[in-house]
A and B are shown apart, each in its own frame.
Chain A
Amino acid sequence: AQKVTQAQTEISVVEKEDVTLDCVYETRDTTYYLFWYKQPPSGELVFLIRRNSFDEQNEISGRYSWNFQKSTSSFNFTITASQVVDSAVYFCALSEALFSGGGADGLTFGKGTHLIIQP
């Protein structure tokens, strides 16, 4: 069975600090997809990034960057120069490939990391 672990329940930093959110996953499939979603206080779930298991290149999008390491089954998310608007709960999620033959196509979410950016 697939599993996603976000060991950090809550992180609090002061604005402009860099912060890294950890995500460790377990899956038996060789083809899978990893996601990060943001849930601001308003409650909606906002898609941030998708990464497939064959692409280990790190990705940078503005102040956001993602580090995918298959060797350690981790997909960590770093926010550089954090801002108050980054305050939210961040979820890491895993999905096995649609035609892998195993498991549902629904996302398996971690418990989330509540990020608090203090002014």
Chain B
Amino acid sequence: DSGVTQTPKHLITATGQRVTLRCSPRSGDLSVYWYQQSLDQGLQFLIQYYNGEERAKGNILERFSAQQFPDLHSELNLSSLELGDSALYFCASSATGTSGPTDTQYFGPGTRLTVL
């Protein structure tokens, strides 16, 4: 158990809909990362938040957005869903302070999204 929690475990929805995935980081970790794992694209970095602020962006679609709240949990919002958005979405967290090297990212169990 990494200490990172994600809800829900599974989500089934229809094209055009909007969903929200939730992540709670490990106790004390300030950074949250979102990744998408699909058969086509493999594991791809989407976005990172550090202590409530967006820190870095990867291959995140404009239809997707995220935020990190004052209690450090994060939500990934996916809208106007398409069949190709079906994937396993992982959240990871790390300590990542304001100085020092990149910390290790510990991953949650993932949310499996199926778009029908």
Contacts and interface: CB of A to CB of B under 8 A. Distances in A.
A35 B2 CA distance: 16
Interface stretch (A17-25, A61-69, A73-81, A98-106): A98-106
Contact-size category for A: 20 to 34
Contacts, number: 71
A78 B75 CA distance: 37
Given A98-B102, A108-B45, 12 more contacts: A33-B101, A33-B102, A44-B2, A44-B107, A47-B104, A47-B107, A98-B96, A104-B57, A104-B58, A105-B96, A106-B48, A112-B43
Nearest to B31: A105
Nearest to A96: B102
Contacts of A90: none
Interface in A47-91: 47, 50, 52, 91
Contacts of B110: 43-45
Contact of A37 (B46, B88, B107, B112): B107
Interface residues of B, number: 30
A35 B104 contact: yes
Interface of A: 31, 33, 35, 37, 43-47, 50, 52, 91, 93, 95-98, 104-112
Contacts of A47: 2, 104-107
B2 A105 contact: no
Contact of A107 (B57, B105, B108): B105
Contacts of A33: 101-102
Contacts of B108: 44
Contacts of B112: 43
Contacts of B55: 105
Interface in B35-72: 35, 42-48, 55-58
